[in-house]
Structure 1
Amino acid sequence: MVGVVLSYCAMFVGTAFPEIALDGGDVTDGVVRVGDTVRRPMRPSSPAVHALLAHLEAVGFEGAPRVLGVDDRGRQILTYVPGQAATLPLHAHAVSDEALVDLAVLVRRFHDAVEGFVPAPDAVWEDGSADDAAPELVGHCDITPRNVIFRGKRPWALIDFDMARPTTRLFDVVTALRHWAPIADPIDRDPLQRCLDVGERLRLFSDAYGLPARDRRRLLELSRLRFDRSYVAMRSRAMTDGGGWARMWEGGAGERIRRAADWLDAHWDELQSHLH
Structure 2
Amino acid sequence: MFVSAAPVEIAFDTEEERIVRVGTTVRRPMTAASPSVHALLAHLEAVGFDGAPRALGIDGQDREILTFVDGETATRPLPVWAVSDETLAGLARLLRRFHDAAESFVPPPDAVWEQGSQADESPELVGHCDVTPENVVFRPGPSGRPVPYALIDFDLARPTTRLFDVVTTLRHWAPIADPIDRDPRQRGLDVGPRLRLFCDAYGLAVRDRLRLVDTARTRLGRSYVATRTRALTLGGDWARRWAEGAGERIRRAGAWLDAHEDELRRHLVEGA
TM-score w.r.t. structure 1 length? 0.91
Shift of 1:228: 1.1
Q: Deviations for 1:198-228, whole angstroms, at most 9, x for unmatched residues?
A: 0000000000000001100010001001111
Shift of 1:133: 3.3
Structure 1: 5+ residue runs without aligned partners? Answer: 1-15
- In the alignment, what sits opposite 2:3? none
How far apart, CA to CA, are the structure 2 residues paired with 1:117 and 1:90?
Answer: 33
- In the alignment, what sits opposite 1:85? 73
Q: Deviations for 1:54-99, whole angstroms, at most 9, x for unmatched residues?
A: 0000000000000111111110100000001111111011100000
Match of 1:161 among 124, 137, 154: 154
Shift of 1:28: 6.4
Q: Matched residues, percent identical?
A: 69
- In the alignment, what sits opposite 2:114? 126
Could you say what secondary structure the match of 2:64 adopts?
A: strand
> Does structure 1 residue 72 correspond to structure 2 residue 65?
no
How far apart, CA to CA, are the structure 1 residues paired with 2:227 and 2:199?
Answer: 27
Shift of 1:131: 6.7
Structure 2: 5+ residue runs without aligned partners? Answer: 1-5, 141-145
Shift of 1:262: 0.4
> Does structure 1 residue 274 correspond to structure 2 residue 267?
yes
Q: Pairwise mapping of residues 18-97 of structure 1 onto structure 2 (< 5 A)?
A: 18-23=8-13, 29-97=17-85
Shift of 1:130: 4.8
> Does structure 1 residue 116 correspond to structure 2 residue 104?
yes
Could you say what secondary structure the match of 2:82 adopts?
A: helix
How far apart, CA to CA, are the structure 2 residues paired with 1:267 and 1:143?
Answer: 23
Match of 1:248 among 241, 249, 266: 241
Shift of 1:139: 0.1
Shift of 1:23: 2.6
TM-score w.r.t. structure 2 length? 0.93
How far apart, CA to CA, are the structure 1 residues paired with 2:266 and 2:233?
Answer: 41
Shift of 1:129: 3.5
Contact 1:130 1:167 in 2 (8 A): no
Count how many residue pairs are aligned between Structure 1 and Structure 2. 259
How far apart, CA to CA, are the structure 1 residues paired with 2:180 and 2:153?
Answer: 27
Could you say what secondary structure the match of 1:73 adopts?
A: coil
Distance of aligned partners of 1:220 and 1:131 in 2 relative to their CA distance in 1, 3 Å threshold: farther
Shift of 1:113: 0.3
- In the alignment, what sits opposite 2:143? none
Q: Mean Cα displacement is larger for which, 119-128 or 55-64?
A: 119-128
Contact 1:142 1:163 in 2 (8 A): yes
Q: Deviations for 1:143-188, whole angstroms, at most 9, x for unmatched residues?
A: 0000000102100000000000000000000000000000000011
Q: Pairwise mapping of residues 174-189 of structure 1 onto structure 2 (< 5 A)?
A: 174-189=167-182
Distance of aligned partners of 1:48 and 1:28 in 2 relative to their CA distance in 1, 3 Å threshold: farther
How far apart, CA to CA, are the structure 2 residues paired with 1:130 and 1:181?
Answer: 24
How far apart, CA to CA, are the structure 2 residues paired with 1:80 and 1:73?
Answer: 18
How far apart, CA to CA, are the structure 2 residues paired with 1:147 and 1:139?
Answer: 14
How far apart, CA to CA, are the structure 1 residues paired with 2:194 and 2:150?
Answer: 20
Contact 1:69 1:77 in 2 (8 A): yes
Could you say what secondary structure the match of 2:117 adopts?
A: coil
- In the alignment, what sits opposite 1:3? none
- In the alignment, what sits opposite 2:191? 198
